[in-house]
Structure 1
Amino acid sequence: MKKRQNVTIKGTKDGLTLHLDDCCSYQELKRELEAKLSVNSRTQDERQLMPVRVQIGNRYLTEAQKEELKTLIRQKKNLVVDSIESNVLTREEAEQLKEKDEIITVARMIRSGQILEVPGDLLLIGDVNPGGTVMAGGNIFIMGALKGIAHAGCTGNDQAVIAASSMKPAQLRISDCLNRAPDHTSAEESHEMECAYIDQNGQIVVDRLQGLSHLRPSLTRLEGGR
């Protein structure tokens, strides 16, 4: 019977990919990995550093075990570990992902000098007064007047949007883009809910809310929503 391969090494244009079996014991995996890397390193040009991507499947490794594998791989002269990828999430990582996808609802007024920040989407039922700031890792929805600063996608999400019942911001920010929304004159005062987003030219645009479903279809999270 052919022995099961716990370590598979594949060469790519970007370096090496190590596929490590997630069913065998950790000690058994280490022994086979060291043996195969020793053979492989003899055929490599030692003058050129070779990036290595490690895929561990459904195996959970502690930080100490990850460092142990990195050290083992680095000892093979020209190998450098780029990443260790796992399908397993720790509880902390899962909670962080949940927070990013969660809509936080807050019912209060944000006054001058106050800052409200959430990791995911923000639904604010209330006004943001001049001098007040709201920040979100995702989208910002304000059921009230936005007269202060709003910063959506503050962790780098350039697909985030800002929507408000009354859009009169001192400043709008989405990801790394910054823009001061145009002032409405009394003659052109909008009574419709408006939204701000980054357009295809990389600029923040303020428009009617109705077109947002076509620009950002991923905003519809209800089952069967389109």
Structure 2
Amino acid sequence: MKKFQNVTIKGTKDGLTLHLDDSCSYEELKKELDHKLTESARSREDRLISVKVQVGNRLLTNEQEEELRELIRHKKNLVVDSISSNVITKEEAVKLKEENEIVSVARIIRSGQVLQVPGDLLLVGDVNPGGTVIAGGNIFIMGTLKGIAHAGFYGDKEAIVAASIMKPSQIRISDCITRAPDKAQDDEKREMECAYINDQEQITVDRLQVLMHLRPNISRLEGGY
């Protein structure tokens, strides 16, 4: 009689973890998963149990992932929490690379213009009043910021905005927004500053040197990505 070895079920304090072998065929894996979940259902108590599925180095199609979800959901009191894999598609890899790279742009962002990048932005130039720069990550401006800068566009509250001369009309980081500085502040000389979200969930503008303490992992240059 064939031994079932492609599916391992482990109980945790949060529910069940299913380890699915990545070397067998998908159809073989489905059959064994169905068999083992049916067998284990006999000993489970009558309550909802969260299930995490780990498929190792197997890349599932959307259809296969939905099949596994349906198979598990049809078993009594099982709820699929997540399905995780060690591999990703080429499109996902490209997106991940874009979100973690620095895009360098040398230009002036004039009134009415919007520059947006998926990852970090290094702008060599000014952002004029009425101009807007948006980044999924951090924004570094080698010039004067007089317009709008929105860092952490996709929700990254660790993102920062830095500029050689900081005179913004507005700064946004994730879902936090600052108002424009008053005229007295705007007339002051403001050089090499950065904006970040502090412990009170508010945006603070401070000297650039504080970054090494507040965001020690902000540099991706040492060791590469």
| TM-score of the superposed pair, with normalisation by structure 1 | 0.92
Residue in structure 1 matched with residue 20 of structure 2 by the alignment: 20
RMSD, aligned CA = 1.8
* Structure 2 residue identity aligned to 1:19: H
Aligned residue in 2 for 1:189: 189
* Higher deviation after alignment, 29-38 or 175-184: 175-184
Q: Partner residue of 1:210?
A: 209
CA distance in 1, matches of 2:150, 2:48: 42
Q: Measure how far apart 1:37 and its partner are.
A: 0.5
Structure 2 matches for 1:45-64, cutoff 5 A?
45-46=45-46, 48-64=47-63
Partner of 1:198: 197
CA distance in 2, matches of 1:69, 1:195: 47
Aligned to 2:171: 172
Q: Deviations over 1:12-33 (max 9, x none)?
A: 2222111111112212211111
Identity %: 69
Q: Distance in 2 between matches of 1:220 and 1:14?
A: 36
> Equivalents in 1 of 2:158, 2:209: separation in Å?
17
Q: Does 1:149 align with 2:118?
A: no
Aligned pairs for 1:75-114 within 5 A: 75-114=74-113
Q: Indicate if the aligned counterparts of 2:158 and 2:196 stay in contact, CA closer than 8 A.
A: yes
TM-score by length of 2: 0.92
Q: 1:222 deviation in Å?
A: 2.5
| Contact 1:181 1:206 survives alignment (8 Å) | no
Separation of aligned partners in 2, 1:221 and 1:62: 33
What is the aligned length? Answer: 221
Question: What are the superposed Cα offsets for residues 99-136 of structure 1, whole Å, 9 maximum, x if unpaired?
Answer: 01111111111111211111000011111111111110
Structure 2 stretches of 5 or more lacking a match? Answer: none
| In structure 1, distance between residues paired with 2:180 and 2:141 | 16
Give the whole-Å Cα distance in 1 for the aligned partners of 2:80 and 2:109: 47
> How much does 1:3 deviate?
4.4
Q: Which residue of 2 aligns with 1:65?
A: 64
Q: Which runs of 4+ in 1 moved over 4 A?
A: none
Which amino acid counterpart does residue 113 of structure 2 have in structure 1? Q
Deviation of 1:147 (Å): 0.7
Structure 1: which 5+ residue stretches go unaligned? none
For residues 23-80 of structure 1, the C-alpha deviation after alignment (integer angstroms, 9 at most, x for no partner) is 122122111111100011122234x222211010111111111111111111213212
Once the two structures are TM-superposed, the CA of residue 224 in structure 1 deviates from its matched residue by: 6.2
Kindly report which structure 2 residues correspond to 1:29-44, keeping only aligned pairs within 5 A, or say none.
29-44=29-44
Q: Secondary structure at the match of 1:110?
A: coil
Q: CA deviation at 1:182?
A: 2.9
Q: 1:217 is paired with a residue of what secondary structure?
A: coil
Tell me if structure 1 keeps the 8 A contact 2:167–2:186: no
